[in-house]
């Protein structure tokens, strides 16, 4: 048997018969895709049961680590470091809903004027947290231009600097 794999990441693409040429097998695939493939012979009895839990490294089949296996099962691919960071920072659906509700309620309280001067700082802090959470939920890749774009659409002017600071702090904390 022949294992066809990606030469850059070791991802096993297919298992084909010995007498098959992988270039013919993948002839309808784009040329760029074909150029990233290689083949390795393996005895049929040596093929692992769950081949997606393995990859090719230095012409040997090795087991993927638990994180890679989990990502393959959830996303169908191995995530980059940046995508892993985005996934860790992404607020849950409940957090996003809570943030939206918090913003609506606190803005109503401010508009109606039911707060004293002492409570204004507390409400501002809660709004900044809520806007930061929503900013993180809207970022596909956490870079400065994405945050600025989201802030311009979502965050009121008086909170923009504080929200950006909070998002940057959370991002930097997760990177460590």
pLDDT, one tens digit per residue, over 109-158 is 777 766 665 567 777 778 878 878 877 776 544 445 444 555 556 677 77
52 DSSP 8-state letter = G
Domain final residue pick, 46, 78, 110: 78
- Residues 59 and 111 both lie in one domain: no
In a shared domain, residues 163 and 97? yes
Q: Are residues 98 and 127 in the same domain?
A: yes
> Does residue 15 carry a pLDDT above 60?
yes
Indicate the burial class of 4 (C-beta count within 10 angstroms; 0-12, 13-18, 19 or more). buried
User: Which structural domain range is residue 72 located in?
Assistant: 2-78
Banded model confidence at residue 4, pLDDT cuts 50, 70, 90: very high
Average pLDDT, integer, range 19-40:
90
60 and 91 within one domain: no
Is 132 found in the same domain as 149?
Answer: yes
What pLDDT is attached to residue 150?
53
Under the banding of pLDDT at 50, 70 and 90, the label for residue 161 is: confident
72-118: pLDDT as tens digits: 888 888 888 888 887 777 777 788 788 888 888 877 777 776 666 55
Do residue 98 and residue 164 come from a single domain?
yes
Does the pLDDT at position 5 exceed 50? yes
74 and 129 together in one domain: no
Same domain, 17 and 68: yes
Tell which of 25, 45, 78 closes a domain: 78
pLDDT at 115: 62
Domain check: are 37 and 110 in the same one?
A: no
Residues 129 and 162 placed together within one structural domain of the fold: yes
Across 41-54, average pLDDT: 87
DSSP, collapsed to helix, strand or coil, labels residue 155 as coil
Cα distance between residue 20 and residue 39, in whole Å: 11
pLDDT of residue 28: 92
Q: How many domains does the chain have?
A: 2
How far is the C-alpha of 107 from the C-alpha of 147, rounded, in Å?
Answer: 22
For 97-106, write each residue's pLDDT tens digit: 888 888 888 7
The residue-averaged pLDDT of 50-66 equals 89
Say whether both 33 and 105 belong to one domain.
no
Whole-angstrom distance, CA of residue 97 vs CA of residue 100 = 5
User: pTM for the complete prediction?
Assistant: 0.54
Q: Give the pLDDT confidence score for residue 142 in this predicted structure.
A: 41
Do residue 117 and residue 155 come from a single domain? yes
H helices, E strands: number in the chain: 8, 5
pLDDT for the residue numbered 120: 72
> Of 25, 47, 78, which residue constitutes the final position of a domain?
78
């Amino acid at each position: 048997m022949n294992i066809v794999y990606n030469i850059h990441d070791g991802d096993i693409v297919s298992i084909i018969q010995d007498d098959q040429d992988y270039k013919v097998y993948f002839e309808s695939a784009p040329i760029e895709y074909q150029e990233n493939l290689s083949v390795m012979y393996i005895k049929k009895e040596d093929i692992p049961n769950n081949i997606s839990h393995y990859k090719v490294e230095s012409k040997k089949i090795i087991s993927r680590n638990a994180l890679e296996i989990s990502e393959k099962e959830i996303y169908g691919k191995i995530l980059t470091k940046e995508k892993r960071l985005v996934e860790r920072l992404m607020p849950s659906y409940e957090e996003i809903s809570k943030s939206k509700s918090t913003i609506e309620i606190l803005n109503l309280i401010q508009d109606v004027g039911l707060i004293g001067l002492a409570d204004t700082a507390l409400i501002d802090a809660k709004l900044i947290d809520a806007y930061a959470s929503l900013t993180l939920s809207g970022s596909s890749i956490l870079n400065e231009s994405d945050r600025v774009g989201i802030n311009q659409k979502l965050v009121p002017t008086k909170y923009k600097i504080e929200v950006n600071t909070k998002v940057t702090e959370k991002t930097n904390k997760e990177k460590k």
